[in-house]
């Protein structure tokens, strides 16, 4: 709660100006943050889109390169098969045929070797020029495949280590069939893994970017930047095989690699002729860091703009708080001046000795009451009161005691039960007056008698009084009329009340008399 008050005070939320500026500054900040966020988000999306495009372009181009590589190997194998007689190598000069294979192999830099195997898996001819001692490959996957399958299509196997040279190679094989379609052996072309390693090395990729040649069954043939240990690694659990290739032959996507658990942006393309896939993956965290470094000037500029906005807002709020404080001080000062003016007005309309209304207020109230009477046609009554033999009291007790006597009489009259719109005033000297709006002569006389009785009951000593008791008494005269615009009603009312007061004095004082018109 205290924090909310501090925030409200800091933002001047208790003023309409502060609320308006707070709303404006909040909108400005939100707009600035939203614009910066949108701009940076669009920039990042463009960077990802560009990388996706680069990935798919790279994968498509390398898929075509791989297809060309294996197509050349296939064409060589088919040429060799066409050059073989119907009965295989029987009757062929093997040494001369080895030279033929060597010549063909030299034409294609991707080839590791060319070999011919008979039905038992024994090597009968080779581009290496000499058949090694351990030359039976009947246990190899490609040999078993062709022996079991009668079709004459090219078969690309998994990575193997050559028994002739010890190099890692990809076997590309073709079945040899006799005139009756029976199994007559296998033609083998081996493609060097180093060929792909060397070719993929031409591309400028980051340390964790990936370029891979994979069999469609999920077996890795070569993966840059990894070494030979990735050969024949099973990647069938990768989203590339579980999700992407099931829907399309080429495309892009983002997933965590099954090789090293690095999130990459991938492009992939399936070869049209062979059961192979090329995938190119760009390290997404590295892309993020690169984008962040490139976007750093924009981030700093946006931060400076936001900081400038906050600084400008703090200056504005400081001025608003100062303005609100000045307005508050002015309001307090105005209220104090209003209160002082009201007090001065009351003092100007009050009697300094008794605190009752003075003669000026009496005249104003009487004029107001008579004006209302002229409209409503209701009577206005006036009671004139005089302290009996006050001169004797003053001469005997002194002026200080006389002032006290006037105050006590004023307090007694003020305690009378009158209406809220009646006015009690000190008329002058020892005289008091009561104005009673909407009051007839009978009610006015009743009030006057109450005043006389109340003063008498107060038993204020007055040993110089000529009355029955040595106490202060008053005489009262009252008069009532309905205002008439054609006459001086104030004068008529005063004269009527004075006449009644005079009659009360003549009849012995300490009484109230109502004058008649």
Q: How many residues does the chain have?
A: 517
pTM: 0.60
- Does residue 383 lie within any of the structural domains? yes
Given the residues 336, 411, 430, 442, select the one marked as catalytic. Answer: 430
Domain residues for the domain of 395 are 359-514
Q: H-helix or E-strand containing 369? A: helix 359-376
Task: State the CB neighbour count (10 A cutoff) for residue 498.
Answer: 17
Task: Look at residue 136 and give its three-state secondary structure.
Answer: strand
Q: Which one of 257, 286, 315 terminates a domain?
A: 286
Tokens of 420: 């809220």
CATH number of domain containing 226? 3.30.450.20
Tokens of 108: 């294609």
Residues 374, 280, single domain; the answer is no
Residues 270, 375, single domain; the answer is no
Residues 492, 374, single domain; the answer is yes
Quickly tell me which residue has 């280590």 as its tokens: 161
Residues 282, 390, single domain; the answer is no
Write down the pLDDT at residue 45. 92
**Residue 103 among the catalytic residues:** no
Task: Look at residue 203 and give its three-state secondary structure.
Answer: coil
Residues 261, 410, single domain; the answer is no
Picking from 58, 46, 36, the residue whose alpha carbon sits closest to that of residue 250 is: 58
Picking from 467, 474, 457, the residue whose alpha carbon sits closest to that of residue 385 is: 474
- Does residue 353 lie within any of the structural domains? no
Write down the pLDDT at residue 347. 60
Task: Look at residue 387 and give its three-state secondary structure.
Answer: strand
Task: Answer yes or no: are the C-beta atoms of 388 and 451 closer than 8 Å.
Answer: no
- Does residue 11 lie within any of the structural domains? no
Task: Answer yes or no: are the C-beta atoms of 381 and 492 closer than 8 Å.
Answer: no
- pLDDT: which is higher, 25 or 67: 67
- Does residue 494 lie within any of the structural domains? yes
Is a pLDDT exceeding 80 seen at residue 3? Answer: no
Sign of the CA dihedral 150, 152, 158, 159? positive
**Separation between Cα atoms, residue 425 and residue 357, nearest integer Å:** 4
Write down the pLDDT at residue 56. 95
Residues 387, 474, single domain; the answer is yes
Is a pLDDT exceeding 60 seen at residue 11? Answer: no
Residues 271, 395, single domain; the answer is no
Confidence of residue 54 (pLDDT cuts 50, 70, 90): very high
Tokens of 471: 């106490």
Please name every residue paired with 357 in a beta bridge, in sequence order, or none if there are none: 350, 425
Picking from 268, 309, 265, the residue whose alpha carbon sits closest to that of residue 291 is: 265
Write down the pLDDT at residue 486. 80
Strands 474-481 and 512-514 turn out to be parallel
Longest dimension (CA), the chain: 180
Picking from 12, 40, 97, 75, the residue whose alpha carbon sits closest to that of residue 313 is: 12
Tokens of 228: 């030979």
DSSP letters along 449-495, please?
A: HHHHHHHHHHT-B-TT--SSSSB--EEEEEEEE---TTS-HHHHHHH
Quickly tell me which residue has 């590589």 as its tokens: 69
Tokens of 357: 């209304």
What angle (nearest 5°) sits at the alpha carbon of residue 41, between those of residues 39 and 47?
105
Q: Which one of 239, 264, 286 terminates a domain?
A: 286
Task: Answer yes or no: are the C-beta atoms of 460 and 473 closer than 8 Å.
Answer: no
Q: Which one of 262, 286, 310 terminates a domain?
A: 286
- Does residue 454 lie within any of the structural domains? yes
Mean pLDDT across 254-261: 87
Burial bucket for residue 99 (CB in 10 Å: 0-12, 13-18, 19+):
middle
Residues 404, 278, single domain; the answer is no
Residues 401, 278, single domain; the answer is no
Mean pLDDT across 386-393: 92
Task: Answer yes or no: are the C-beta atoms of 476 and 504 closer than 8 Å.
Answer: yes
- Does residue 300 lie within any of the structural domains? no
Tokens of 185: 């052996």
Write down the pLDDT at residue 473. 94
Tokens of 28: 């400005």
Is a pLDDT exceeding 90 seen at residue 471? Answer: yes
- Tens-digit pLDDT profile for residues 187-233: 999 999 999 999 998 888 888 999 999 999 999 999 999 988 889 99
Write down the pLDDT at residue 189. 95
Tokens of 89: 């190598």
- Does residue 277 lie within any of the structural domains? yes
- Does residue 29 lie within any of the structural domains? no
Tokens of 147: 């022996």
Picking from 216, 231, 189, 211, the residue whose alpha carbon sits closest to that of residue 274 is: 216
Picking from 3, 11, 5, the residue whose alpha carbon sits closest to that of residue 316 is: 11
Picking from 144, 141, 193, the residue whose alpha carbon sits closest to that of residue 166 is: 193
- How many domains are there within the chain? 2
Mean pLDDT across 354-363: 90
Q: Considering only 18-32, 155-169, 488-502, which range has the smallest mean pLDDT?
A: 18-32
CATH number of domain containing 376? 3.30.70.270
Write down the pLDDT at residue 85. 76
**Separation between Cα atoms, residue 434 and residue 422, nearest integer Å:** 7
Is a pLDDT exceeding 70 seen at residue 19? Answer: no
Residues 271, 366, single domain; the answer is no
Tokens of 376: 């409503």
Residues 279, 370, single domain; the answer is no
> Percentage of the chain with pLDDT > 70?
92
Residues 427, 282, single domain; the answer is no
What angle (nearest 5°) sits at the alpha carbon of residue 144, between those of residues 141 and 147?
150
């Amino acid at each position: 709660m205290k924090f909310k008050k501090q925030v409200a005070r800091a933002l001047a939320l208790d003023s309409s100006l502060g609320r308006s500026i707070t709303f404006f500054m909040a909108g400005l900040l939100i707009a600035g943050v939203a614009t910066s966020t949108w701009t940076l988000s669009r920039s990042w999306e463009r960077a990802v889109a560009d990388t996706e495009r680069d990935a798919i372009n790279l994968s498509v181009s390398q898929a075509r390169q791989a297809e060309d590589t294996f197509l050349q190997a296939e064409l060589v194998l088919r040429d060799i098969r066409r050059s073989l007689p119907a009965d295989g190598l029987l009757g062929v000069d093997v040494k001369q045929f080895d030279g033929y294979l060597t010549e063909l192999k030299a034409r294609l830099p991707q080839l590791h070797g060319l070999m011919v195997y008979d039905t038992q898996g024994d090597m009968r001819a080779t581009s290496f020029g000499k058949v090694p001692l351990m030359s039976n490959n009947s246990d190899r996957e490609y040999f078993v495949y062709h022996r079991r399958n009668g079709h004459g299509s090219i078969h690309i196997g998994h990575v193997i280590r050559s028994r002739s040279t010890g190099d890692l190679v990809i076997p590309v094989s073709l079945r040899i069939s006799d005139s009756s379609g029976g199994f007559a052996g296998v033609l083998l072309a081996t493609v060097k893994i180093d060929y792909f390693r060397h070719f993929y090395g031409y591309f400028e990729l980051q340390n964790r970017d990936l370029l891979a040649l994979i069999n469609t069954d999920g077996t890795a043939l070569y993966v840059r930047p990894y070494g030979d240990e990735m050969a024949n690694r099973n990647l069938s659990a990768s989203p590339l095989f579980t999700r992407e290739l099931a829907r399309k032959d080429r495309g892009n996507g983002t997933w965590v690699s099954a090789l090293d658990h690095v999130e990459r942006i991938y492009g992939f393309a399936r070869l049209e002729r062979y059961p192979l896939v090329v995938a190119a993956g760009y390290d997404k965290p590295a892309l993020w860091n690169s984008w962040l470094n490139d976007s750093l000037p924009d981030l700093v500029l946006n931060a400076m703009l936001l900081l400038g906005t906050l600084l400008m807002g703090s200056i504005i709020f400081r001025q608003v708080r100062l303005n609100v404080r000045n307005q508050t001080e002015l309001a307090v000062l105005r209220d104090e001046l209003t209160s002082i003016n009201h007090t001065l007005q009351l003092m100007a309309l009050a009697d300094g000795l008794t605190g009752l209304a003075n003669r000026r207020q009496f005249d104003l109230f009487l004029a107001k009451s008579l004006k209302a009477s002229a409209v409503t046609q209701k009577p206005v009554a006036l009671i004139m009161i005089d302290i009996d033999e006050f001169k004797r009291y003053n001469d005997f007790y002194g002026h200080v005691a006389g002032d006290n006597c006037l105050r006590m009489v004023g307090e007694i009259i003020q305690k009378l039960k009158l209406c809220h719109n009646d006015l009690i005033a000190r008329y002058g000297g020892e005289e008091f007056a009561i104005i009673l709006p909407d009051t007839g002569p009978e009610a006015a006389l009743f009030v006057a008698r109450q005043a006389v009785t109340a003063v008498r009951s107060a038993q204020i000593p007055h040993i110089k009084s000529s009355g029955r008791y040595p106490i202060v008494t008053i005489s009262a005269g009252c008069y009532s009329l309905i205002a008439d615009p054609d006459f001086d009603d104030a004068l008529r009312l005063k004269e009527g009340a004075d006449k009644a007061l005079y009659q009360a004095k003549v009849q012995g004082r300490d009484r109230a008399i109502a004058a008649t018109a």
